[in-house]
A and B are shown apart, each in its own frame.
Chain A
Amino acid sequence: MKHGHTFRVGRLLCYIILILGGITSVLPMVYMLGTSLKPNGALYEYPPKIFPHLNVITIENYIYVLTKEKFHINFINSVIVSVSTIILAAAISTSLAFCIARFRFPGRNLLFGIVIGTMIIPGTTLIITQFELASFLRVINKLTGLIPFYVAWVIPFSTFMIKGFIENIPREFDQAVYIDGGSVFTVFFKIAVPLASPAIASVSIFNFLTAWEEFQWALTVLNDNAKRTFPIAISGFFGQHQFTQWGYVFAMSVTSLIPVLLIFIFFQKYFIAGLTAGGIKG
């Protein structure tokens, strides 16, 4: 009896701790949503409220940022950049991963070494020479100045993950295709790509998030407001106004959080799969 009692107290304590942690996890976001729905009068209301009264809730901040600030342009820019990045990165990393996993060719170890090595180097450290490269390629202040750099950033991790997955596909499948007279391309398109698609999907979700929220490179390359992606648009708006209009800032933030939440909700199992694949298991 006594044992059962402590067991129940322990379980209750466990729920209390987890619920407190859960509240801490979501509260800042709830506060942000609340602020974005308040009338944007005072800079800091007093006393501050996490969430406005239901009868003062307004969407005027959203209407303002979409009409006056043309935030939808920044939003669309972000969509273009992120979608292009994940498509190119998926194509390039899958082909690299397939070749490294299946064939011996000169420089294979060097190539894989570069893949692993560049995962350790923080992307920001290369920003100076990448900026010079972008100037040389005349892609400053263009969305094409973001996409190839993002692709290059995400390729190492994506290749590493997809390679691990392809190595687990039995080679007998390949052999069957070769015996039937198929080529490397046939194996790639008929075996590797379809069977590795769960891994490709999960790295693509991570790549989407990386490109969607990327800040420092976009800050360096884009000046023109019409070319900006949403993180730069928000921080730029934030910096321009000495007395920050938090309602507008958070209306933009909530708008740009919606796609992330939708993807997270619909592809939850790929998130978990992506994090736990690739030999992270204890």
Chain B
Amino acid sequence: MDLKTTRNRIQVFLLLLPGILMFSIFTVYPIIKLFVMSFYRWELGSFHKQEFIWFQNYSAVLSDEVFRISFINTLLYTIITVPGQMILGLLAAVLINSLPRFQIPFRVIYYLPVITPWVIASLVFKYIFNTEGMLNYILYEVLHLTNRNIAWLDSRWSGMFVTEILGIWKGVGWNMVVFLAALKSVPMELYEVADLDGCGSIKKFLYVTLPCIKNTILFAMVMLTIGGFNVFTSIKLITDGKPLHRTETVLTWMYYKAFRSGKFGYAAALSFIVVVTLILLAALQFRIMKNRNEEGFI
């Protein structure tokens, strides 16, 4: 509507003011500052020796061996956990949706890992996967599948694997709830038509359900990809980048460079590379899904 009176204009301004102030000070200013900082030699504790160095921080990041390792780790974490959570979450949603009763208890139980704080879940997983922990006991002493206790957390791939299992375990419930809502919004008539055409459950799932929940799939994929690149707490607590920075992810490496080495300029350039990667990935996902949209889902 139009704001005709001065009183109303002032009131709208007053309502907007706190939000705009919060955004400007705590979000927009840090983004701009980060961009500027990424072009400077900027180190913690030596605030007066800042020097404009063009793209040197960016080239330092891109030629850094640990950055390459951490980027690949993050990418693999995302490639493994995003489909893992989505497929299991969708499976759980489809199964729960088909139940005549007990839907709510299952929904509650599957959602518990989602609300468990990351710090707590990470420590529990560290405890289970510890060399003297429960998992090794079961694999070695009970099932005799391994011939010794495996040091899960002491090598790159198995260390990352533990955090990926945690990521999937913690994310299935969110996907389940989101997909369950989408499944309930699929019009029943479509299934009835498919029934008349003699489609079985799998055909119905492929040709009715999936196209109808396409937007939800896209939404979940974009949100989870952002989440995957955001992985921090579990890595920090479970492996802490060990051994020798082989299990760092982009953000844990950024954090290390900023707050352990004090290289703010380097870390700022790294942060920007992460942000740009995420924007590109989100755009790519939208594009792929849009093409799918025109061709039908499969």
Interface set of A (CB-CB < 8 Å, partner B): 11, 14-15, 17-18, 21-22, 24-26, 28-29, 31-32, 35, 43-44, 46-48, 50, 91-93, 95-96, 98-99, 102-105, 111, 114, 118, 120-133, 148-149, 151-152, 155, 159, 171, 174, 183-185, 188, 209, 212-213, 215-216, 220, 231, 234-235, 238, 246, 249-250, 253, 256-257, 260-261, 264, 268, 271-272, 275-276, 280-282
B130 in contact (CB, < 8 A): yes
Contact A253 B123 (CB under 8 A): yes
Contact A257 B117 (CB under 8 A): yes
- Chain B residues near A250: list those with CB within 8 A: 123-124, 127
Q: Which candidate, B10-18, B65-73, B79-87, B152-160, is the interface stretch facing chain A?
A: B10-18
Contact A282 B215 (CB under 8 A): yes
What CA separation (Å) do A234 and B127 show in the bound complex? 14
Contact B181 A276 (CB under 8 A): yes
Q: How many residues of B contact A (CB 8 A)?
A: 96
Contact A133 B19 (CB under 8 A): no
Q: Return the contact of B255 from the options A46, A216, A246 (Cβ within 8 A).
A: A216
Interface centre among A26, A121, A155, A260 (most CB of B within 10 A): A121
- Chain A residues near B123: list those with CB within 8 A: 234-235, 238, 249-250, 253
Contact B271 A125 (CB under 8 A): yes
What CA separation (Å) do A29 and B181 show in the bound complex? 26
What CA separation (Å) do A209 and B117 show in the bound complex? 8
What CA separation (Å) do A105 and B16 show in the bound complex? 10
Contact A25 B26 (CB under 8 A): no
Interface centre among B15, B108, B216, B226 (most CB of A within 10 A): B15
Smallest CB separation, A191 vs chain B (Å): 13
Smallest CB separation, A84 vs chain B (Å): 14
Contacts beyond the supplied A128-B254, A280-B178: 5 A-B pairs with Cβ under 8 Å: A25-B172, A120-B226, A127-B255, A188-B11, A253-B124
Contact A124 B137 (CB under 8 A): no
Interface 1/0s, chain B 13-45, versus A by CB < 8 A?
001101110110111111101100100000000
Residues B82-116 near A (CB distance < 8 A): 88, 91-92, 95-96, 98-99, 106-113, 115-116
What CA separation (Å) do A282 and B217 show in the bound complex? 8
What CA separation (Å) do A209 and B121 show in the bound complex? 14
B139 in contact (CB, < 8 A): no
| 7 examples of A-B residue contacts, CB within 8 angstroms | A47-B141, A121-B31, A133-B26, A250-B123, A281-B181, A281-B182, A281-B216
- Chain A residues near B226: list those with CB within 8 A: 120, 122
- Chain B residues near A104: list those with CB within 8 A: 1-2
Smallest CB separation, B188 vs chain A (Å): 14
Contact B237 A183 (CB under 8 A): no
Known A-B contacts A31-B134, A155-B19; A25 and B7 likewise in contact (beta carbons under 8 Å): no
- Chain A residues near B37: list those with CB within 8 A: 128-129
B194 in contact (CB, < 8 A): no
Known A-B contacts A128-B264, A155-B19, A184-B12; A264 and B133 likewise in contact (beta carbons under 8 Å): no
Nearest neighbor of A188 in chain B, beta-carbon distance: B15
What CA separation (Å) do A212 and B1 show in the bound complex? 39
- Chain B residues near A25: list those with CB within 8 A: 109-110, 112-113, 169, 172-173
Contact A126 B271 (CB under 8 A): yes
Known A-B contacts A22-B109, A31-B134; A184 and B127 likewise in contact (beta carbons under 8 Å): no
What CA separation (Å) do A235 and B116 show in the bound complex? 15
Contact A215 B133 (CB under 8 A): no
Contact A47 B216 (CB under 8 A): no
What CA separation (Å) do A185 and B99 show in the bound complex? 48
Contact B109 A32 (CB under 8 A): no
Residues B119-145 near A (CB distance < 8 A): 119-121, 123-125, 127-128, 130, 132-134, 137, 141
Nearest neighbor of A232 in chain B, beta-carbon distance: B119
- Chain B residues near A184: list those with CB within 8 A: 3, 7-8, 11-12, 15
B205 in contact (CB, < 8 A): no
B54 in contact (CB, < 8 A): no
Known A-B contacts A133-B29, A253-B120, A275-B174; A126 and B132 likewise in contact (beta carbons under 8 Å): no
Contact A155 B117 (CB under 8 A): no
Smallest CB separation, A111 vs chain B (Å): 7
Known A-B contacts A92-B22, A120-B226, A152-B23; A272 and B182 likewise in contact (beta carbons under 8 Å): no
Contact B115 A209 (CB under 8 A): yes
What CA separation (Å) do A209 and B173 show in the bound complex? 15
Known A-B contacts A128-B267, A183-B7; A28 and B125 likewise in contact (beta carbons under 8 Å): yes
- Chain A residues near B34: list those with CB within 8 A: 125-126, 128-129
